[in-house]
Amino acid sequence: MRRLPSLLLAAALAAFALPSAALTPPKRPVTPEDLFAIAFVSSATISHDGKRVVFVVRRADLKQNTYLSNLWIANTGGGPPVQFTHGDHDGEPAWSPDDRTVVFTRAAGGSPQLYAIHLYGGEATRLTNQPHGASGAAFSHDGKHIAFVSTAVDDAPRSRVDWRALGTAPPKKFATTDIRTLPWPRYQLNGGGYIYDKHDHIWTINADGTYAHQLTFSPDGEAGPLWSPDDTRILYGVTALASREADDGHMFVISANGGKPAEVPLPHYGSFPLDWTHDGKHILFAWTSRHDSSALPALATVDPDGNNETLAIEENSVLIGDAILNDTKEGGAGCGGLTPDDATYIADVSIPGATEIDALTMANGQATTLVGGGREVQDCSLSRDTNVIAYTALDATHLPEIYVFDRTDGKTRQLTHLNDPLTNARALAEPEAHAVQNGKDGTVAYWVMRPPNAVAGRRYPTILDIHGGPHTEFGNSFFHEFQVLAARGFIVVYANPRGSTGYGYDWSSALDGDWGNAMFADENAVMDEVVKRADVDPSRTFVSGGSYGGYATLWMIAHTNRFRAAVAERAVSDIFTETLSADFAAPRGFEGPAGTPHAWGGALLGYRTLWQQSPLAHVTAVHTPLMLIHGDADTRTPIAETLQEYEALKILGRPVELVEFPRETHDLSRTGEPLHRVERLHILTDWFTQHAR
């Protein structure tokens, strides 16, 4: 080998001696295509003995332009997680009482069915063969039976044709009709299509898959089977199809062998079962006193016969569940369970800008934080003794992963790092938390997310994003869209104005009777403060939002010209037509509680109020360039809401573009086809970049 000159050799050796950090490649910006590298981790389901956690990992698949999901498993004591199933359409895991078997759903090639797989491997065994699928497996305490939910579909009605007059027998394909006779008001569901002829019923099956037996038959359908501790009864909930608001649930108990169900008689507007106490003498449930979209249910126990009700948590005091909004999931499953002495209820609770797991004392409702940290805890589960809690958590710079918390020693352990290869290689924007007075004796929390490689002294275009709901909240959670926008050189601002959850009932209910003005005041207070920053270019500000955020965007640009351009997605432009046509259409869909000063009088009686609260009523004031985005399968905010705004602006000769996504529901940005989600992010960034020049 040829000898290197001494100086070259010294230089070569010096290069090898450089710190490893110098050899680390620079982190690259987040892109829309990173969607295909994200592991969507969820459904942390702990074994009864607290030794293992089974969970779901869902990934976007490029070749099929869909999502593939499988179960993974991890030991709570440590060690790498391993993939447990390979069906690519697996979810909803449930442990058998002896922790030797996991039952789950698999939906390959059709409706989901229940499967079972042994802890130590082998092929999964199919348990159910329901014509329209099975889900929600719940083991009896002795492990011998499984309760689940299966959908029954009404037979198609006979064709109204006099075949005899035609002189022929009805051809088989025309013997029934495809004409729909729809009930009012709930006959469809966003993402679920027409549901008026579909009814969920509770079934039981032996743990080996034999003797599937339908237990309930109500035409209203039933949900959430809960076995009594002695396995002789099953508790479940029903909301009548004839219910005008669909929020006044009732509770029933039925023998595990079948028979006539008995309603738990209660005086509340809506009652919803949560659990049995461990002695089987009482039922833990949530209740609301009236129709109120902002209501935070109370927590109480009661005997199965409706006697001896005992209040644990007052109504409108604690929001149980995950209300944080992001684009990595559709809703957080939360969790909840009683300790063995029934003295404490452990649950996921929404707080300002975050969720946490609290221990709520049943005697007085006092809360003690078990898992905090100011981030999002999207789902969780408890070991049998409730000493070990498994949960899925994420924050603004970390995608969801599985954790466990041990109540005995107060220690937390992270079990998975499936998203570390992605986030460690990306330049991520970190949000700054702020607050500003809104001039109405309130303080609005907001966050500012700067470009990850922002240069000191430079001013950046700034996007205000307004969340949907309106009864959700932004918080310390990962938002792929925000990271993409920040990577493209935008400052992203997002806030929790009045109407947001997590800040108490009064803050959440502040939009009752006035959807636009309170939000407008709060978001403008935020922007008035933001434009004072040295890194913000006040002449290049933008506004965007989806669902209620789409409504809010349209409202903002109809009442101010401060923004250079806007994007409104799946928006509501006319509250009157939205109230009468959305999948949740109800007489009081957008008004406050009946009999209160905030009640609008319903869609028909309150038309003038609804119209004045509609952006379409103020469309002539819109001069801001606007892009409208909508999925054509959206029934939560039907696409006509966007078409009305679009047509009005076109008639007025205002700058407006409409982007329509085929086959997409209201959840395009969260669960839409992967390629559509990627294209959507490019469309957004290109629109803002074009107008930021």
Which parts of 323-430 are beta strand (E)?
336-338, 344-351, 354-361, 367-371, 376-382, 388-395, 398-406, 411-414, 426-427
Looking at 3.30.70.1450, 3.40.30.10, 3.20.20.70, 3.40.50.1820, the CATH number of the domain 429-692 comes to 3.40.50.1820
Q: Which residue in the block uniquely carries the two structure tokens 């602006």?
A: 649
pLDDT of residue 245: 83
> CA torsion 98→101→107→110, rounded to 10°?
-100
- Give the CA distances from residue 537 to residues 459, 527, 624, in Å, rounded to whole numbers and listed in that order: 5, 12, 17
In this predicted structure, the answer to whether residue 18 has a pLDDT above a threshold of 60 is no
How does residue 594 score in pLDDT terms, banded at 50, 70 and 90? low
Q: Which residues neighbour 307 within 8 Å (Cβ) at sequence distance 6 or greater? A: none
How does residue 10 score in pLDDT terms, banded at 50, 70 and 90? very low
In this predicted structure, the answer to whether residue 417 has a pLDDT above a threshold of 80 is yes
pLDDT of residue 8: 31
How far is C-alpha 251 from the chain's CA centre? Answer: 25
Q: Which of 17-21, 44-48, 138-142, 253-257 has the lowest average pLDDT? A: 17-21
- Give the CA distances from residue 552 to residues 143, 300, 516, 573, in Å, rounded to whole numbers and listed in that order: 51, 37, 7, 9
Residue 61 near residue 80, CB atoms below 8 Å: no
pLDDT of residue 636: 93
Ranges of each domain in the chain:
155-196, 429-692
- The residue-averaged pLDDT of 83-88 equals 96
pLDDT of residue 586: 74
The type of residue at 424 is N
The rounded distance, in Å, linking the Cα atoms of 412 and 403 is: 7
Buried/exposed code over 317-346 (b: 16+ C-beta within 10 A; e: otherwise)? ebbbbbbbbbbbbeebbbbbbbbeebebbb
How far is C-alpha 216 from the chain's CA centre? Answer: 28
- DSSP β-bridge partners for residue 117: 102
How does residue 268 score in pLDDT terms, banded at 50, 70 and 90? very high
Kindly state the tokens that stand for 329.
Answer: 């999931």
Q: Work out the mean pLDDT of the chain and round it to a whole number.
A: 92
- The residue-averaged pLDDT of 344-361 equals 96
In this predicted structure, the answer to whether residue 16 has a pLDDT above a threshold of 60 is no
pLDDT of residue 591: 66
pLDDT of residue 597: 63
pLDDT of residue 331: 67
pLDDT of residue 85: 96
The rounded distance, in Å, linking the Cα atoms of 428 and 27 is: 9
Angle subtended by helix axes 548-559 and 517-530, to nearest 10: 70
The type of residue at 665 is T
**Cα end-to-end distance, the chain, whole Å:** 57
Q: Which of 127-131, 188-192, 478-482, 621-625 has the lowest average pLDDT? A: 188-192
Residue 482 near residue 449, CB atoms below 8 Å: yes
- The residue-averaged pLDDT of 290-313 equals 94
pLDDT tens for 57-85 read: 999 999 999 999 999 999 999 899 999 99
pLDDT of residue 434: 98
- DSSP β-bridge partners for residue 124: none
Pairing of strands 134-139, 310-313: unpaired
- DSSP β-bridge partners for residue 411: 406
How does residue 1 score in pLDDT terms, banded at 50, 70 and 90? very low
Give one word for 79, left, alpha or beta, with left for phi > 0 and alpha for psi -120 to 50. left
pLDDT tens for 148-169 read: 999 999 999 999 999 999 999 9
How does residue 657 score in pLDDT terms, banded at 50, 70 and 90? very high
Kindly state the tokens that stand for 608.
Answer: 């003038």
- The residue-averaged pLDDT of 240-249 equals 85
Q: Helices then strands (H, E): number in the chain?
A: 13, 40
How does residue 592 score in pLDDT terms, banded at 50, 70 and 90? low
pLDDT of residue 274: 96
> CA torsion 158→161→167→171, rounded to 10°?
-40
The conformation of residue 324, written as its DSSP 8-state character, comes to B
In this predicted structure, the answer to whether residue 104 has a pLDDT above a threshold of 70 is yes
Residue 253 near residue 262, CB atoms below 8 Å: yes
From the list 658, 631, 661, the residue with the least C-alpha distance to 645 is 658
How does residue 19 score in pLDDT terms, banded at 50, 70 and 90? very low
Give the percent of the chain with pLDDT over 90.
82
pTM: 0.93
How does residue 12 score in pLDDT terms, banded at 50, 70 and 90? very low
The rounded distance, in Å, linking the Cα atoms of 32 and 671 is: 14
- The residue-averaged pLDDT of 10-31 equals 60
Residue 413 near residue 81, CB atoms below 8 Å: no
Residue 177 near residue 169, CB atoms below 8 Å: no
Sign of the dihedral defined by the CA atoms of residues 628, 631, 637, 638, in that order:
positive
Q: Which helix (H) or strand (E) holds 522?
A: helix 517-530
Top-confidence residue, 331 or 623: 623
In this predicted structure, the answer to whether residue 607 has a pLDDT above a threshold of 90 is no
